[in-house]
Every structure is written in structure tokens, then in C-alpha cells.
Amino acid sequence: MPRMSLVRRAGAEDAGEVLRLRQVMIDSVFAGRDAAAASTEWHSTSLPTLRSRLAEPDGEFVAFVVEHPDRPGALAALAAGTVEYRIGRAGNPHGRVGHVFSVATDPDARRRGYARACTEELLQWFRERGVPQVDLNASADAEPLYASLGFTRKPDPSMRLTF
């Protein structure tokens, strides 16, 4: 299990590697089910926005990463999240909701606790901001990790409209 000191907040200079690890996550979740998901053509368009968001020290978006132990300049793991505002309700009167996404580990760095360490740091970031609820979508492979961190499966009435 890595020490928490291995985890650091990603900065603008990490944007390319953050996108690479996001693609690792996309590839593992959608492998064989969505050929369009394997495309990386969107990376160059996304990179400036991601770089800008990572540069915001007090923004509502954050990514925590671990350096790759065998490849200088590369990242081994990533966990990203954002805080959204929703109109309050019982149990969350201020309407702050955290979202975890893009949890990924480079295939050659798996089973070392890096994703867990990044996610734990992200959950602490949410706690420090007074976020009482954190949501995520879990693949079957990742569900045991999230369950061990206290997440529970909920019936999901989500719908989506894509323009």
C-alpha cells in the first residue's frame, strides 16, 4: 500500500498525462462496447480546458495523482472530482454534491493501492469543502474499491440527452 505522501494534486503541467489516464479508464470501461470511445481525437481540443481547470487553485474541480515509479514524467494513477451546486434538500441544505470520476491506474502499475490513495485524498478534499454527499459511477471491477470506502449502490433513475 503506498503512503499518502505519494499522492499529490495535479497541476496544469500534468494535463497531458491526466488525459492519457482518463483514456485508460475509458478504454477499460467501454472496451469492445463502444468503438467511438477508443478515439483520442478529442484530446487536443480538451487539453487547453483541462490545463486551465487544473491551474485553478480554488476551483470546484480537482485531480489527485501518483507519479509512475518506473517511468519518469508519467503518472501511475488518477482520481478526479468536482463539486456541483444543487438546490438544497433535507440532509444537504446547501446543495453541495461531489462527483468522483476518471479514477484510473496505468495497467503496469495496478494492484499497488494507487487508485485507493488518490480516491482517499479526493474524498478528504470533499470533506474539507463541507460536501455531505459524493456520487460516482462504478464499473463492476471498481465496485469493491468504492464499497470498501463506504459507497453504496443506489437505484439510478438517471437519463441523458446528448446534443
94 vs 132, 135, 163, CA distance in Å? 9, 16, 30
CB-neighbour burial class of residue 116 (10 A; exposed 0-12, middle 13-18, buried 19+): buried
Low-confidence ranges of the chain (pLDDT < 70): 1-5, 32-38, 160-162
Distance (Å, rounded) from C-alpha 78 to C-alpha 98? 16
The dihedral built from the CA positions of residue 14, 53, 126 and 140, taken in this order, carries a sign that is negative
CA proximity to 40, closest of 50, 54, 61, 26: 26
Where do we find the cell 446547501?
A: 94
Distance (Å, rounded) from C-alpha 51 to C-alpha 151? 30
For Cα atoms 84, 143, 59, give the angle at the middle one, nearest 5 degrees: 20
Residue-range domains of the chain with CATH: 4-148 (3.40.630.30)
pLDDT in tens, 28-44: 887 766 666 668 889 99
pLDDT in tens, 4-22: 469 999 999 999 999 999 9
Cβ atoms < 10 Å from Cβ of 3: 8
What confidence score (pLDDT) does residue 3 get? 44
- Model confidence, pTM: 0.90
Please provide the DSSP assignment of 59-71 as one string. Answer: SSEEEEEEE-SSS
